[in-house]
Structures are given as structure tokens and as C-alpha cells.
Structure 1
Amino acid sequence: MRFLHCSDVHMTADYPSLPMRPLGWRRWLAMFEQTVGGRRKAYARAPATLATIAQDARRWGVDHFILSGDVTQYALEPEFVLARQALGELAEDPGRCTIIPGNHDVFTPGSHRSGRFARHFGQLLHSDLPEHQREGAFPFVRLVGRDAAVVGLLSARVPVVPGIASGFIGAEQLEGLAAVVADPRLEGRALLVVVHHAPFTPGGGADHPLHRLRDAKALIRLLRGPRFAVLHGHIHHRYHLPATAERPHVFCAGSSTQAGREGYWIIEVKEGLVVGGRQHVPGGPHTPAAAEAHA
């Protein structure tokens, strides 16, 4: 079985053309990142790149498409619309597609209160095992074929101020995930657990305090060995940490639409185990864009 994993696609509205007052102070502060930080230029072609990645999912004949958060730049309505348009019919079918929110998709209290992410992607929060849901829709479980299941977790929280980008899953969702892992109906299936924040950096350590997944250790304790994989984004570098007896596979999709760093993972599952993955560039030939990364 094949899974396409991308992340941090950051659809970006035309901020200079928008009235400043409705944007709010959080986005005003973030405009420095857009201009001086170069984000506006880096994601100018993000909608076209995401559309190409969606087309690649069909070309590769993948069994399931996964986007692990940060669909938008700063959670504006036009940015969610751009993402839906780029993904097309793929975003209509929970049997083929999983998308979870990232911290940029709940960038303001207003975007969170209004349920902006769910308004555009709530159809993908359906669970095949709803009895395990604990915090709203999460964790949700998607059964894929006979050999795999995708589990969606929520780690994205509204930041107190821009620049604080840490997240947490929370005790309720972790208890639900433990129930998923122990569910006999999932015996013999690989579990691909999708969360936005990174449990490990490329070197295998913890992320810095303002950016990290705060309950990463509790997550990893539940998922050990090659039956499990954690798929995440948040760190804009693509890497793979192979499974050991003490941890699952960890795949970071980086920022799949960032200019000069475009790409995604094709992850392979066989007989209930995650057997590896290869990086690919959007629209590229059906050969690996690079050897499997381990750091």
C-alpha cells in the first residue's frame, strides 16, 4: 500500500490588497515574516504546487493522501478556499484523504472559534471507530484497505502571541490513542499516526521549547516498532527517522510547497508494517527525487 504525505503547504492570501484593520494585531505582527522574512515570495506558487501534488497522488495510484497541517499561512478564509480549490475532489473523500490542522490554521482566536478549518475540511474528520474520539473529532481513525489505518490527532492550539508555536495533544486524546492501539479490530494493521508538531528534530532530539510538541514522550511511549509511524510537519525540513524497538518510524514532510524545497513522501506499507518511504518532487518522474533520508 502507498501513502502520500505532504505538509505545511501555507496557502497565502494577497495581504497587501486586504484592509489592515480586519486582519487583527496578530497578523499585523506576522506581516514582518511575510515581507522581510520572505514567506510571501516563498509561497507565491503554493496553490499550483499543491494542485500538482494532488495530481501526483492519482498518478502514483496512492491508497491515501495525508496533509499534516498548516494548510494556510494565517488562517484567513481566502487561504482555506485556495487549498480546497487546489485539492479538488480529493478533499471530498475521507476514504482517500486525511487533513489535520496546524498551528497556522488556528492562528487567531476568531479563526478557531468560528471553526474555519472544519468549515472547509470537516468532511475529512469522520472516524471509522468513533468510540475512540475524545476531544471533538480527535483521535479519528480511518481504515485503509486491510493492512493499515490512519489516526488523526490534534496538537495545534491558538498561540498566546505570534512566535509561540508549541503544541500538545493532551491526556484525553492520548487515552483515546491508547484505546486505538489496543483495539483488536486493528490487529495486523500498520498505524500511521498524523500530528502536526514534531516529536523529534532531524537529529532525533527534542524541538526547542517555543516550537515543540510538549507531550512528545507520552506519544512515543504508545507507538514503538515498525508497525507504527508518526507523520508530521511543522519543521520545514524533510526527514525520516527509522523505527527502533523504542520508537516508531517518524516522517517529517517539511514544507511541501516552499520554493526550492518542494516535495513529499511516498510511504510504503506491507503486511501490516511500515517498510519505508521515498521523497519525490511535485510533477517529477516516477523515480525517487532523492534517496531515503535518515537525518
Structure 2
Amino acid sequence: MFTLAHMSDIHLGPLPKVKGRQLLSKRLLGYVNWHRGRKFMHRRDILDLLTNDLKARSPDHIAVTGDLTNLGLPQEFPLTAEWLRNLGSPEAVTVIPGNHDAYVRVDPEKATAHWQPYMEGNEPGQALYEQIPGEFPFVRRFGDIALIGLSSAIPTAPFIAAGRLGTEQRRALGEILDRLGRDGLFRVVLIHHPPLPGQAGWRRGLRDAAEVRDILRIMARNSSCTDTTTNRASSNSKQSAVRRSSSAPRRHLKPSMAVSPPPATTNMPSSRPETAGGWR
């Protein structure tokens, strides 16, 4: 039995000291929002309780699907990398970025490169799909389970938190799902923005969601399995879920942190793709 724990929208606090010139962009609105209310929702003490509870369950693997930072500041990324190291090793934790991690354009070497060991295919995954270094998608294989890491994180205008995979990632996703399905693997797609309809409005949605749904739909039709699930984070929330082949217990630490509950059961292994993500 393989147990996959899922977290999203960490928004690690407190916010580090911000230089004035760093606020000459969309970050100014985010900075104001943080101090007006978000800092009271994304409390570090609650996050620590949540992660300690999750680690106590000893899952086989942990997926963190984006928005580890708040304003995408260069000084936030080393702090989130330290948090990740406390959560687990790169072999035990997989990470993809969210829209807050691409708040504005930043040199990747000063940003998500700090997480790179957590965003690379492992050796069995590379044998199935050879990742272009530093790019997406990537594949991690654990026995009959395969995690497919995507990035929908793109810089956007103020008041917009939308995402996009783009043509190359979508093409690669279709090829990967087809290959892994033919190998009989249970496929878990990690993406920050929800691809299913009705889960996010235009300002926060996945711009190429229809194209992504078509890919998933084709793969599902070609599969003999019947279970497909999507888990999304609600607004202003951190997310944690534990997925396993038996019931998946979860705990709401505080009402404001609660999210839509995941399906109670997931049959592993199987060949139909499942999606896991979050957005804010």
C-alpha cells in the first residue's frame, strides 16, 4: 500500500523584510493584503501543527503543489527551501510552483532554483520520461505509482492569479500519460490550478483548462479503471490530504484552514489519471 500526502498553498509566514523597490510592482497590492488580513490566516503555528500531524502519519511520499511563497520575493525562497528540508528529503517530497511563486518575473536562480532537488524526476521516472533540466514536466516513479509534475505558474497582471501550462507541457503530458498508462501505472498529475470546470473563475483559472481536460478525457477513455478524483484548495486555505488504498483520514485544525474533503478511497494501482493541486 502506497500513501501519498498532499499539501498546497503553504504561504509561508511571517513575511521577510521587504525592500521598498521590490514593491514597485504587483507586489505592492500583495504586501497590503498580507498585512490587512492574510498574515492572520496563514499562521506559522498552524502550519507547524499541520505538518507535524502529517509527518506523524508517516506517509510514503508528500506532494506540495505550489504557493509556498506570498509575494515571490527572492528572500522568500531560501526560507521555503529550509521549510521543505524540514518536511522531508527530495526523495520523500515532490514540489511544483504556484502563481504566488511566479508573482512577478524573477531570475529562477534567485527563486525556484532553491527547490530544484524537489522538482526533478527520480531515476525510475527519468527512465520513463527524460526531463529537460530545470523545466517541466517531470516524472517520479515509486513502484506502480507515477507522479507527473507540471507548472502552471506564470507572472500575471494585478488582480489576476491565473495560470497556463502551454503547448509544450500539454504535448508532453499527453505523451507521458499514454506511456505510463500502457505500462499499467497509477498516474497522479500534480498541477496548481484546477483543470476541471467550475473550480476557479477567469481571474484565477487555468487558461488552457479545456485543452488539459481533453487530454485527461482521452486518457480516461483509454483506461479500464473507473476512479478519477480532483482535490482543490478553497480560497484562503492551506490544504492537506492523505491518499491511500484504504480510507483517508484527515483533520481540520482550524475552521479557516478547512478545505473541500478528498475522496474517501483511492484504489492503487490503476491506470486512470488523478489530479492533485491547489490555488489561491
- Shorter-normalised TM range: 0.7 to 0.9
Gaps of 5+ in 1: 229-243, 284-288
How far apart, in 2, do the equivalents of 1:186 and 1:90 lie? 33
Q: Are positions 1:212 and 2:205 aligned together? A: yes
From 153, 157, 164, the equivalent of 2:150 is 153
Q: Would you say the 8 A contact 2:5–2:61 is kept in 1?
A: yes
Letter in 2 for 1:40: K
Tell me which stretches of 4 or more aligned residues in structure 1 moved more than 4 Å.
Answer: 224-228, 275-278, 289-294
Query: Structure 1 186/5 Cα, relative in aligned 2: closer, same or farther at 3 Å?
Result: farther
Give the TM-score, by structure 2 length: 0.76
How far apart, in 2, do the equivalents of 1:91 and 1:41 lie? 26
Alignment of 1:20-35 (within 5 A): 20-35=20-35
Q: Which residue of 2 aligns with 1:175?
A: 171
Question: Percent identity between the aligned chains?
Answer: 27
From 250, 258, 264, the equivalent of 2:230 is 250
Q: Would you say the 8 A contact 1:280–1:290 is kept in 2?
A: no
Q: Which residue of 2 aligns with 1:118?
A: 112
- Residue 250 of structure 1 and its aligned partner are, at CA, apart by 0.5
Letter in 2 for 1:265: A
Q: Which residue of 2 aligns with 1:191?
A: 187
- Residue 223 of structure 1 and its aligned partner are, at CA, apart by 2.6
Ranked by relative contact order (alpha carbons within 8 Å, sequence separation 6 or more), the top structure is 2
Gaps of 5+ in 2: 264-280
Letter in 2 for 1:248: T
Q: Would you say how many aligned residue pairs link Structure 1 and Structure 2? A: 252
Q: Which residue of 1 aligns with 2:139?
A: 141
How far apart, in 1, do the equivalents of 2:199 and 2:53 lie? 33
Give the TM-score, by structure 1 length: 0.73
Deviation string 1:57-90 (CA, Å, 9 cap, x unpaired) is 4321211101110000001233223323333344
- Residue 135 of structure 1 and its aligned partner are, at CA, apart by 9.1
Q: Which residue of 2 aligns with 1:286?
A: none
Letter in 1 for 2:240: Y
Determine helix, strand or coil for the equivalent of 2:175: helix
Query: Structure 1 133/263 Cα, relative in aligned 2: closer, same or farther at 3 Å?
Result: closer
Q: Are positions 1:265 and 2:241 aligned together? A: yes
Letter in 2 for 1:210: R
Query: Structure 1 57/224 Cα, relative in aligned 2: closer, same or farther at 3 Å?
Result: farther
- Residue 248 of structure 1 and its aligned partner are, at CA, apart by 3.1
Q: Which residue of 1 aligns with 2:273?
A: none
Which deviates further from its counterpart, 60-69 or 79-88? 79-88
Query: Structure 1 137/186 Cα, relative in aligned 2: closer, same or farther at 3 Å?
Result: farther
- Residue 32 of structure 1 and its aligned partner are, at CA, apart by 2.9
Q: Are positions 1:40 and 2:36 aligned together? A: no
Determine helix, strand or coil for the equivalent of 1:222: helix
Q: Would you say the 8 A contact 1:66–1:97 is kept in 2?
A: yes
Determine helix, strand or coil for the equivalent of 1:129: helix
- Residue 97 of structure 1 and its aligned partner are, at CA, apart by 0.8
Q: Would you say the 8 A contact 1:133–1:176 is kept in 2?
A: no
